[in-house]
Amino acid sequence: MSEINPCAAPRTVHVGTASRSYDVHVGAGNLDDLGRVVAGTGSSRACVITETNVGPLYAQAAETSLADAGVDVTDRLVFPAGEASKSLAVLGGLLEGLAERGLTRDDAVIALGGGVTGDMAGLCAALYLRGIRVVQVPTSLLAMVDSSVGGKTAVDLPAGKNLVGAFWQPSAVLADVRCLASVPHELLTDSCGEVIKHAVLADPALLDELTERPLNAPGTDEGRLVDVVTRNVEIKRDVVDADERERGLRQTLNLGHTIGHAIESASDFTLGHGSCVAAGLCMMTRASARRGWCTSETAARIERCVAAHALPTGCDLPADLLLHYMAHDKKRHGGSVNIVVPVEVGHVEVRRATLDELRELVELGREEVR
């Protein structure tokens, strides 16, 4: 999808959370640099964890770079691609694999893939030997802009998304936007849901630019991808630096997720995470407009950007089914669940809603805003 742009200069964003500081390297064609980055973390051995789609495309290049930098490379661990692998069973197999390879606390896991791989390999690294290094190498746009940064790792349970996990910050992140050239168009589109979320949270100008020039349009060049990924990482960095453990400000990163995660589970993962976030964001925004928490112009502005990317602006799954999953939301407190309300573009507020209020919000969120 992207044209090679020799002017896509690499960028570095520094993340400084309470538990660990690290650099996020964003570039075009910088996968070759992985070995130097991993060696810089002090790791002497590394095991690439990847999945069946991404492994054949990029694992050899990653391992060659590691070996060239003097890092001892173990046999890679490969699991089946897709959200269904975010399970305790697959996690257990990966942990056994690390033990079989004899990884020690001097070594590193390389998470090579999209958000599923980042969440799985990150959780392996958090648990194995009570914690070894992980270097995140995101290959989907969603993983570059969101999941590789900030240290949330998780697997799903049948009861819902990400219900078992840990905060475990990476030791470094390397995002090569050239890897996006192999991403199918519908998956690139899906990832745009989290990009739009970040723009709504913190960058009104970016939201309007995305509406004018959707990121999934043909011909988006590497320079723009480096710019947009970098800006998104900065937005997320500003939040996780201030609140690593989601005691306050970080809860805002859940914008669109209360309803979005429920749609994702209720659709049996036939819809991608970013698409569900986009739908959840639009539904919460429309409901907020109906409640008078934001203006109808704010709701329309957000929806225009989502629609410009051909992402879903709502869902018609039964409210009861969505409520079933929202009741298992990890941000539940007693009979209430946290919701993130878009008050205006660039300003959101975390509030609590009872399950009855959530049901009303879901119904309001289905209605057109006049």
Ligand X SMILES: NC(=O)c1ccc[n+]([C@@H]2O[C@H](COP(=O)([O-])OP(=O)(O)OC[C@H]3O[C@@H](n4cnc5c(N)ncnc54)[C@H](O)[C@@H]3O)[C@@H](O)[C@H]2O)c1
Residues annotated in the binding site, as ranges? 115-119, 139-140, 152, 161, 194, 257, 273
Site for ligand X in 215-274 (CB under 6 A): 272-273
Q: Which two tokens stand for residue 52?
A: 């069946």
Across the strands, what pairs with 46? 73, 108
Q: Is 162 a catalytic residue?
A: no
- How far CA 331 is from CA of 180, 240, 251, 351, 361, in Å, comes to 32, 17, 9, 11, 17
Interface with ligand X (CB under 6 A), residue from 137, 187, 210, 279: 187
Q: Is 198 a catalytic residue?
A: no
Q: Which two tokens stand for residue 277?
A: 């976030």
Interface with ligand X (CB under 6 A), residue from 5, 10, 23, 57: 57
The least CB distance from residue 146 to ligand LNCXM5UN, in Å, is: 5
The least CB distance from residue 164 to ligand X, in Å, is: 13
Does the CA dihedral 254-48-125-80 come out positive or negative? positive
Nearer residue to ligand LNCXM5UN within complex by CB, 35 or 160: 160
Q: Is 30 a catalytic residue?
A: no
Contact string (CB under 6 A) for ligand X, positions 144-173, x = contact: --xx--x-x--------xx-----------
Q: Is 237 a catalytic residue?
A: no
Which listed option, ligand X, ligand LNCXM5UN, none, makes contact with residue 116 (CB within 5 to 8 Å by class)?
ligand X
Q: Is residue 142 near ligand X by the rule CB under 6 A?
A: yes
Q: Is 257 a catalytic residue?
A: yes
- Which residues contact ligand LNCXM5UN by CB under 6 A? 146, 150, 152, 154, 161-162, 194, 246, 250, 253-254, 257, 330
Q: Is residue 112 near ligand X by the rule CB under 6 A?
A: no
Three-class DSSP labels, the chain: CCCCCCCCCCEEEEEECCCCEEEEEEECCHHHHHHHHHHHCCCCEEEEEEECCCHHHHHHHHHHHHHHCCCEECCCEEECCCHHHCCHHHHHHHHHHHHHCCCCCCCEEEEEECHHHHHHHHHHHHHHHHCCEEEEEECCHHHHHHHCCCCEEEEEECCEEEEEEEECCCCEEEEEHHHHHHCCHHHHHHHHHHHHHHHHHHCHHHHHHHHHCCCCCCCCCHHHHHHHHHHHHHHHHHHHHHCCCCCCHHHHHHCCHHHHHHHHHHCCCCCCHHHHHHHHHHHHHHHHHHHCCCCHHHHHHHHHHHHHCCCCCCCCCCHHHHHHHHCCCCCEECCEEEEEEEEECCEEEEEEEEHHHHHHHHHHHHCCCC
Q: Residues annotated as binding site for Zn(2+)?
A: 194, 257, 273
In the numeric block, the tokens 């960028």 are attached to 11
Task: Exactly one of 53, 216, 232, 254 is catalytic; name it.
Answer: 254
Give the C-alpha separation, 130 to 7, whole Å. 42
Q: Is residue 193 near ligand X by the rule CB under 6 A?
A: no
Q: Is 273 a catalytic residue?
A: yes
Task: Exactly one of 76, 224, 273, 286 is catalytic; name it.
Answer: 273
Task: Exactly one of 51, 83, 194, 303 is catalytic; name it.
Answer: 194
Q: Is 194 a catalytic residue?
A: yes
Q: Is residue 28 near ligand X by the rule CB under 6 A?
A: no
Interface with ligand X (CB under 6 A), residue from 49, 108, 143, 215: 143
Task: Exactly one of 51, 222, 234, 246 is catalytic; name it.
Answer: 246
Nearer residue to ligand LNCXM5UN within complex by CB, 35 or 122: 122
Which listed option, ligand X, ligand LNCXM5UN, none, makes contact with residue 179 (CB within 5 to 8 Å by class)?
ligand X
Q: Is 186 a catalytic residue?
A: no
Give the active site residues. 130, 152, 194, 236, 246, 250, 254, 257, 261, 273
Q: Which positions lie near ligand X, rule CB under 6 A?
A: 51, 53-54, 57, 81-83, 86, 113-117, 119, 139-140, 142-143, 146-147, 150, 152, 161-162, 179, 182-183, 187, 190-191, 194, 272-273
